[in-house]
Amino acid sequence: MRDQRNWILYAGLLVLFWGVWGAFSSQPTERYGYPNEMIYVIWAFTMLLPAAVALRRERFDRRPIAAVYGLAAGLTGAGGQLLLFQALSNGPAYLIFPVVSLSPVITVLMAVALLRERIGKLAVTGVVAALIAIVLISIPAGDHGSADTGSWLLLSILICVAWGAQAFFMRKAALASVNDATTFGWMTISGLLLVPVAVLMMGGLPDAPWQAPALTAGTQVLNAVGALFLVMALSRGKASVVAPITNALAPVLTIVLSLVIYQTLPTIWGTIGIVLALGGSTLMVYADEKREETPQPRLPSAPLAGP
């Protein structure tokens, strides 16, 4: 039986790995013009490393239910990533990312409606604060003018739904007693299955100096390990809490690291988002700790039998 309170530990590790990854993830493209599709390809192969480590500790679950939920989680995640590249080629990133960032809303709605998860008023306040923070942090600086609504909006909505459903399927796998290593193993297989699609999208392998794939591999390992921690956090905590808290705090760490490394100040919206993310996450963790510490009512003991 998993310790349900361990989700805080794994969520924290996820925030650490994804926060650091976010601060350096753009470097291959900025330094060497490395295509996003090639970054996806390398990311898919870096998933093999944490998958191998995880599968050394847990047996691969061969049940059909494990394959269904594992592939569902993997294909919605990897498929959403490929759709993101297509959306960015057709529309403005400053509008696409705020739409995509609403994916935890999908997770929360699915968890409450389909998994019957219940969260207290204090945790609800934290979830709302975290969701608002995610959107605010996604708002970039500067006046970008207007943008015509096109296919990118539909793609952004599809990505939002796909990534929100991914967290839901991870949680469903855990409720079906599928171990973390198996779920992550199927996610790795799903990512590799879409590698040929990514190669076709960019029209073949690009010419680039060796530093580009090396730097990409170094940063994407952080992404891959973070994905494993997401599986582990969702197998122990409520999807309606884990998804908002991790999606809110990872960008906060990225912003802080960017401030230190690149001397980049957050926007006013980003600053407000940071405050809301920290406050909302604190409320959710406090509510979870309070729920765990609440003593459960004891059942009356049966009377002793008489002589």
Report the C-alpha gap between 102 and 289 in whole angstroms.
Answer: 26
Instruction: Tell me the torsion sign for CA atoms 14, 234, 281, 291.
Output: negative
Two tokens, residue 291: 């729920």
Report the C-alpha gap between 36 and 54 in whole angstroms.
Answer: 27
Report the C-alpha gap between 243 and 167 in whole angstroms.
Answer: 7
Q: What is the pLDDT of residue 121?
A: 85
Contact 246, 107 (CB under 8 A): no
Instruction: Count CA within 13 A, CB hemisphere, residue 171.
Output: 25
Phi, psi of 278 (to 5 degrees): -65, -45
Q: Name the one residue in this structure whose structure tokens are 């230190």.
A: 260
Report the C-alpha gap between 245 and 134 in whole angstroms.
Answer: 9
The Cβ of residue 261 has, within 10 Å, a number of other Cβ atoms equal to: 10
Two tokens, residue 44: 């898919």
Could you read off the pLDDT of 5-58 as tens digits, one per residue? 689 999 999 999 999 999 999 899 999 999 999 999 999 999 999 999 999 999
Q: What is the pLDDT of residue 136?
A: 87
Q: What is the pLDDT of residue 164?
A: 95
Q: Tell me the CA distances in angstroms from 206 to 33, 109, 201, 300, one per residue in order.
A: 10, 41, 12, 71
Contact 244, 130 (CB under 8 A): yes
SS3 47: coil
Of 242, 183, 217, which Cα lies nearest the Cα of 54? 183
Long-range contacts of 298-307 (CB under 8 A, 24+ apart): none
Contact 182, 70 (CB under 8 A): yes
Query: How high is the mean pLDDT in each 10-residue block of the chain (307 residues)?
Result: 73 95 91 94 97 96 97 96 88 81 91 89 89 84 55 91 96 96 98 96 92 96 97 94 92 89 82 90 78 51 42
Report the C-alpha gap between 86 and 80 in whole angstroms.
Answer: 10
Q: What is the pLDDT of residue 301?
A: 44
Q: What is the pLDDT of residue 57?
A: 93
